[in-house]
Amino acid sequence: MSTRRADPLAQVSDFDIRLLKLFRTVVDCGGFSAAESVLGIGRSAISQQMSDLEQRVGLRLCQRGRAGFALTEEGREVYQASQQLLSALETFRTEVNGLHRQLRGELNIGLTDNLVTVPHMRITHALARLKERGPEVRIQIRMIPPSEVEQGVLDGRLHVGVVPQAGALSGLEYAPLYDERSQLYCAVGHPLFYADETQLSDERLNSQDAIAPTFRLPAEIQAHYQALNCTASASDREGMAFLILTGRYIGYLPDHYARQWVQEGRLRALKPATRFYDLSLASVTRKGRRPHLVLESFLEALAETG
């Protein structure tokens, strides 16, 4: 498809919406092959429906072939527009269903990574209560960096998120959930793993290759990283764990997340009495949001777990 259509898209039909939902899934999965299991159809059927969508909008949306899957510039714009359209449709459906005081619709929640090992399990318990109250509720969870969680809540793609609290952004409301403690770790193979406690001077710790996070943190916590020799970075805690487990870096991890590796003898906390920090985690919602029965029910369940 080398040229754009001369006439505009006259109307958006149910068929178009189904094609846009398929397109969104393909993009979120990163390609046709990865989307097969999610959509429950084969690659050839996905390809045909993508071609149907391109024909409908008169634009080339993606490149596919041996070089892999990639969105065109027009494809990126159509993807963003489709996100807004599908979000608006879901908001409409949720509000209409709310008139019947029945829990139906979606809850789109964004989480920073590796919260499932938090002992309090407030999120897990709240989701269980929500599903008990509304068996027909569809829950969509996205594991993404904190900045993307906040942006998703701001632009309406997410109803609620859970992020480390590092200063409030305008337009968002934060409600404290719990605190988690992070300690400084090294792994088997690192020289400090075998060092006696008396050999772990601050000078020696601060000279080791270390990992810095790229997500926002309060200033008092950033000071812990500024004291280290950070020669690597990661966008999330799982990325930091990958690097620490190489045995070549030291870095901070939440103790609940590191516990399994510590018990297996693969990680060691370094000077745990002094090298730690506590980070507050909070739920985040958009200020001035429209009534959303599913979201409000989830927030109520979350408050009940406190």
Mean local confidence (pLDDT), 133-150: 89
Q: pLDDT for 182-198, tens place per residue?
A: 999 999 999 999 999 88
Q: For the domain bounded by 96-175+281-304, which CATH number is listed?
A: 3.40.190.10
Distance CA 14, CA 12 (A): 7
| Interatomic CA distance for residues 58 and 1, integer angstroms | 8
CATH number of 14-87: 1.10.10.10
Averaged pLDDT score across all residues of the chain: 89
pTM: 0.64
Helix spans in the chain (H): 14-29, 32-39, 43-57, 73-98, 122-133, 146-154, 202-207, 219-226, 237-244, 255-263, 293-304
Q: What is the pLDDT of residues 233-272, one digit of tens each?
A: 998 888 999 999 999 999 999 999 999 999 999 999 999 9
82: Cβ contacts below 8 Å, ≥ 6 apart: 20, 23, 24
Question: How far is residue 29 from each of residues 70, 71, 161, 220, 298, measured CA to CA in Å?
Answer: 12, 12, 21, 37, 27
Same fold, 96-175+281-304 and 179-280: yes
Structure tokens that stand for 238 in this block = 């799982």
Residue in this structure with the two tokens 């690659």, named with its chain if needed: 43
pLDDT of residue 167: 77
Class for the domain spanning 179-280: alpha beta
What is the pLDDT at residue 8? 60
Domain edges within the chain: 14-87, 96-175+281-304, 179-280
User: Region 185-214: what's the mean pLDDT?
Assistant: 95
